Amino acid sequence: MKDQRHPHKESFSLLLISHTGGKSRQFHLSLARLRLFFFLLALTVFALIGLIVLSATEHGRQSALRAQLIAQQHKNQQLEADMKILEEEKSALARENGLLQLTAMSQTATRDNSDEEENQTDPDFPGLYPSSETGLLIATYSPETPYLSINTHIEDHIVAAANGTIVSVTSDDTYPVIVEIEHINGYRTRYMCRQSAQLEAADDAAVQAGDTLLVITADNTQLDYQVFLNDEAIDPLNVIDAKG
C-alpha cells in the first residue's frame, strides 16, 4: 500500500509580543491571503495615486480656465473703453462739422450799418446776427431748446436784429438780463444773457437795426437768442441773412 502524502500548504505566521505584559499572540496567514492582501494594498495605492493625479489635472484645468476668463474680462473692458473713446470722437467730429458750417456766418457779423450790403436788407425784418464781431454760434435751434446759443466775450455788443420797440427788460433765475423787442409784421426777438452784462436799452425805447442792447462784461458769456413769428418760436437761422 503506497503512502499518500498530502502537499503541505505554505503559510506564514505573524507573532505579536507585548513588551509590557509579556503576552504574545500569533497569527497564521496562508499564501493566498497574503497575496490577496498585497493585491488589495497595491490596488488601493494605485487608486490613491490616480485620484491625486486626477485632482491635480482638474485643478490645473480650472486654473487655466480662470486665467482665460480674467484675460477675456480685461480684453472686454479694453474694448469697451476703446468703443467709448471712438463714440466720443465721433460725437465731437459731428458737432465740429455742424458748427464749422455755421462759423463763417457768425464771424462775419458786424455793427456797421453803413456797409453797402447791410443797406440792401430790410431794416424792419429781423435778419441781423444778434452778436457783433466774435460772437460764435455754439448750439442751434431745436424743439427742446427753441433758440440759438452764442458764445461771447468781453466788450462784444449784443445788437437789435431789426428796427422795433423794446417791450420788456427783465430777468429770472436763469438769465440776469432779458431784452425783448417787438418788430412789425408779427416778428418779436428775445435776447437772454446767462451772465450779467451792461444794459444799453430801456423799456419802450425805439431801436434801429444794429443798435447796441447789451455790452458783454465777462468772457464766455452765453447769449440765448429767440425769434417769434405771430407768438410762435421759429428757427432764427431761417431769418438771419446769409451774410450774418
Classify residue 173 as exposed, middle or buried by CB count within 10 Å of its CB (0-12, 13-18, 19+): exposed
Q: Which of 38-42, 127-131, 147-151 shows the lowest mean pLDDT across its residues?
A: 38-42
Q: Report pLDDT digits (tens) over 27-80.
A: 666 777 777 877 888 888 888 888 888 888 888 888 888 888 888 888 888 888
Instruction: Answer yes or no: is pLDDT of 166 > 90.
Output: yes
Q: For the chain, how many residues are written?
A: 244
Residue 48 amino acid letter = L
55 occurs within a structural domain: no
Looking at the domain assignment, is residue 100 inside a domain? Answer: no
pTM above 0.75, yes or no: no
d(CA 223, CA 221): 7
Query: Residue 28 falls within a domain, yes or no?
Result: no
Q: How far is CA 33 from CA 12, 37, 38, 44, 194, in A?
A: 10, 6, 9, 16, 103
Of the chain, the percentage scoring pLDDT greater than 70 comes to 76
In this structure, what DSSP letter does residue 6 have? P
Domain ranges, residue 168: 108-238
pLDDT of residue 231: 94
Number of domains in the chain: 1
pLDDT value of position 114: 44
What are the b/e assignments for 39-57, b being 16+ CB within 10 Å? eeeeeeeeeeeeeeeeeee
Position 119 pLDDT exceeds 60: no
Contact call for residues 213 and 128 (beta carbons, < 8 A): no
Q: Is residue 161 part of a domain?
A: yes
The x, y and z cell numbers of residue 237, run together, are 437761422
* Residue 243: HSE in the Cβ half-sphere, 13 Å Cα cutoff: 9
* CATH number where 199 lies: 2.70.70.10
Residue 30 lies in a domain: no
What does the pLDDT read at residue 120?
46
Chain segment 96-116, per-residue pLDDT in tens: 876 776 665 555 544 444 444
Answer yes or no: are the C-beta atoms of 188 and 161 closer than 8 Å. Answer: no
Q: Is residue 157 part of a domain?
A: yes
Question: Is 186 among the domain residues?
Answer: yes
In a domain, 127, yes or no: yes
